[in-house]
Amino acid sequence: MDRQGKGSFGRQVADGAQKIAEQAGACTRRLGNGDSWPCPSGPWALVSAGTFEDDVQAVNRARRQPDPPRLIFSVAAGVREFAGEVDDPEGIYGVGQWFPGSATRAELGPPGDAFLAAYATVTDQPVDYPGVQAAAAAVVAAHCARQARSTARGQLWGQAAALDTATLFGGFRINPVTGAQVKHEAALVRWTSGGLALA
């Protein structure tokens, strides 16, 4: 069973999960926010791709079912805050846009290890991928502004669209027509008794 939230990312994840499950011969059911959950007959898995709040609600609801899913994948499980919002995250899979040690060598900006060390000196919280994503975006923006010698939108866009590089966040290349990221790869993660780890 897959659960899709609002927005194109949730729809894309749900579409991909449904396609792969059907290719494997599995029966799928797609649910929206207000849909009632059917009683599955036999083992089942949950794929939830909504907002953080929707995913947390779906995971907690699924775990309370008389016959809970044997496997859970939730987009929200890719961030550390997830552990504080569900009863027991152990065994749940998630996806992150970055995970320590998963990125390629940075060609622009600081290496991942140097950034993590600097981050640790100013905060006692572990950095999660949105923080690394923001740092990488700043690196790319600053590089484009230096190359363009301008902050005009069109000139920045031209520089960004021409890039094929890597930052501490991973590969960076965009489609110059759509703006879609075409090079970056996500990291599959899983909650263990020791916390979040690469799967």
Distances (CA, A) of 158 to 57, 146, 151, 152, 174: 41, 13, 11, 10, 11
Phi, psi of 178 (to 5 degrees): -95, -25
**Count: domains in the chain:** 2
Residues 130 and 154 in one domain: yes
Considering the domain boundaries, does residue 137 fall inside one? Answer: yes
Residues 10 and 86 in one domain: yes
* For residues 27-41, average pLDDT: 70
Residues 24 and 81 in one domain: yes
Which H or E run includes 145? helix 129-148
* For residues 37-55, average pLDDT: 82
3-state class of 180 per DSSP?
coil
CB 90 within 8 A of CB 192: yes
* 97 band by pLDDT with thresholds 50, 70 and 90: confident
Residues 93 and 54 in one domain: yes
* 84 band by pLDDT with thresholds 50, 70 and 90: very high
DSSP secondary structure letters along 73-109? EEGGGGSGGGGGTSS--TT-EEEES--TT-SPPPSSS
Considering the domain boundaries, does residue 107 fall inside one? Answer: no
pTM of the model: 0.77
Considering the domain boundaries, does residue 149 fall inside one? Answer: yes
DSSP classification of residue 193: T
Query: According to the model, what pLDDT value does residue 6 have?
Result: 47
Q: What is the rounded CA–CA span in Å between residue 60 and residue 14?
A: 19
Window from 35-44, 52-61, 109-118 with minimum mean pLDDT = 35-44
Considering the domain boundaries, does residue 180 fall inside one? Answer: no
Query: According to the model, what pLDDT value does residue 38 have?
Result: 66
Burial 129-143 (b: 16+ CB within 10 A, else e): beebbebbeebbeeb
| pLDDT over 90, % of the chain | 44
Residues 116 and 72 in one domain: no
Considering the domain boundaries, does residue 106 fall inside one? Answer: no
Q: What is the rounded CA–CA span in Å between residue 16 and residue 115?
A: 33
Residues 135 and 65 in one domain: no
Is 180's pLDDT higher than 70?
yes
Residues 10 and 33 in one domain: yes
Query: According to the model, what pLDDT value does residue 28 have?
Result: 79
* Six token digits for residue 128: 């999660």
Considering the domain boundaries, does residue 79 fall inside one? Answer: yes
* For residues 172-198, average pLDDT: 89
Considering the domain boundaries, does residue 177 fall inside one? Answer: no
Query: According to the model, what pLDDT value does residue 194 have?
Result: 92
Residues 92 and 6 in one domain: yes
Residues 87 and 22 in one domain: yes
Is 5's pLDDT higher than 70?
no
Query: According to the model, what pLDDT value does residue 111 have?
Result: 92
* 165 band by pLDDT with thresholds 50, 70 and 90: very high
Distances (CA, A) of 176 to 84, 138, 181: 39, 19, 10
Residues 84 and 159 in one domain: no
- Domain hosting 127: range is 112-172
Mention every residue, 6+ apart, whose C-beta is less than 8 A from residue 36. Answer: none
Residues 80 and 14 in one domain: yes
Number of H helices, E strands in the chain: 5, 9
Residues 84 and 34 in one domain: yes
Please choose, from the candidates 112, 73, 65, the residue with its C-alpha nearest in 3D space to the C-alpha of residue 89: 73
Considering the domain boundaries, does residue 105 fall inside one? Answer: no
